[in-house]
Structure formats: structure tokens, C-alpha cells
Amino acid sequence: MSVFEDISAIFKGYWTTFSQMLEKPVTIQYPEERRTVRPRFRGRHVLKRYDNGLERCIGCALCAAACPSNAIFVEAAENTDEERYSPGERYARVYEINMSRCIFCGYCADACPTQAIVLEHEYELAYTDRRQAIYTKEMLLEPPPAGKPGTPQQTPEGVDLPAVPQVVVKRP
């Protein structure tokens, strides 16, 4: 390699550096500015509710069976007319996701027959202790719609709720 090629390579490097200095930076100031995520981004899990305030999760544990990293634990219990959590016969009494095991594959959302578990766009999932990595049902459950009661609800006498309410689910 000649001296001319060496000097040429140095000036190419300087030119690359100089041309980058004139471009607009792509850095965002994170806590103040939040990056928008793509529509198919899979972030924090959320347990959804129906429009009447009942939980969508019926405690079938298909999400736990579909999870390849064994991060989901579901314990079902029976609904009663005095304490109704979901429209079906059962509900998830205990629902836990170990976020230190979760690989955000979305298999749990695909396996759910009532579309109860959804991976939303929240990406701030930091924790300082392993116990904080276990998200409980109370942490995952979205609040009831405005003006609707939460769970448990009491079923009025003589009213038979269908296993799955007839609602139209809008997908993005």
C-alpha cells in the first residue's frame, strides 16, 4: 500500500465523520420523549375486560399451556351468582406471569379463546428484585370501563349470562 492510499483512506474517514456531523441526530431524550412503537410490537401483557366490566379470562389455562418458557401460572375457580368475575362457569382466581422468563412471543395471546390476554405497547418493564418480575392478576387487569362496575359482580336473579358475551372485537 502506498503513502497516497494511506492518506486517501484517512481523508475518507474524515469525510465520513464530517458528513455525519451535518445530519440531524436520531437520539431522543428518553424520559421526556417516548419513541412510538410499531403496530405489531409486543410489550407488557394486559388482561382485558368486556364492556359490562366482567373479565374476559375464563381460567382455561390455554395460555399457560402454549407458553414455551413456562412463564404463566393460572389457577381457576368457580363463578357463583353472588360473585361473578367472568361470564363463563369459571374464572382465573390466580393469574401470574413471570416477566423474567417471558420471551414476548405472543403465543399466549394466540391461544386465548376469549382474547383476554393481549400484549400491549408498554415497554417500560424494569424491576430491581426478582419478586417484582412476577406480575399478578391485579397488576395485569385493565380497569373497568367508565361507569361500569368492576368484579366481582352479582348476577340478578333469573338472568342467565352466555358463556361469551356477543361483542364485536376490533383488531388494529
Residue 91 lies in a domain: yes
Give 40-101 as a DSSP string. T---SEEE-B-TTS-BS--S--HHHHH-TT--EEEEEEE--SSSBSSSSSEEEEEEEEETTT
The answer to whether residue 171 is domain-embedded is no
Peptide bond into 68 cis (omega under 30): no
Q: Are 45 and 117 in contact (CB under 8 A)?
A: yes
Is 169 inside a domain boundary? no
Do the domain assignments include residue 58? yes
- CATH for 82: 3.30.70.3270
pTM of the predicted structure, to 2 decimals: 0.76
How many CB atoms sit inside 10 A of residue 83's CB?
14
Give domain status of residue 147, yes or no.
no
Residue 172 pLDDT: 57
pLDDT at position 166? 57
Instruction: Give a yes or no: residue 172 inside a domain.
Output: no
CA-wise closest residue to 34 among 128, 119, 121? 121
CA distance 21 to 70: 48
Number of domains in the chain: 1
Please name which of 116, 107, 106 lies closest in space to residue 58, comparing C-alpha atoms: 116
pLDDT of residue 169: 52
CA 55 to chain centre: 16
The SS3 call for residue 119 is: strand
* pLDDT for position 78: 94
Q: Which domain holds residue 101?
A: 45-140
SS3 state of residue 160: coil
Q: Is residue 59 part of a domain?
A: yes
pLDDT (tens place) for every residue of the chain, 172 residues total: 688 888 999 999 999 988 888 888 888 888 898 888 999 999 999 999 998 889 999 999 999 999 999 999 999 999 888 888 988 889 999 999 999 999 999 999 999 999 999 999 999 899 999 999 999 999 999 999 888 888 888 877 766 665 555 555 555 5
Q: Which stretch of DSSP H or E encloses residue 19? A: helix 3-21
In a domain, 23, yes or no: no
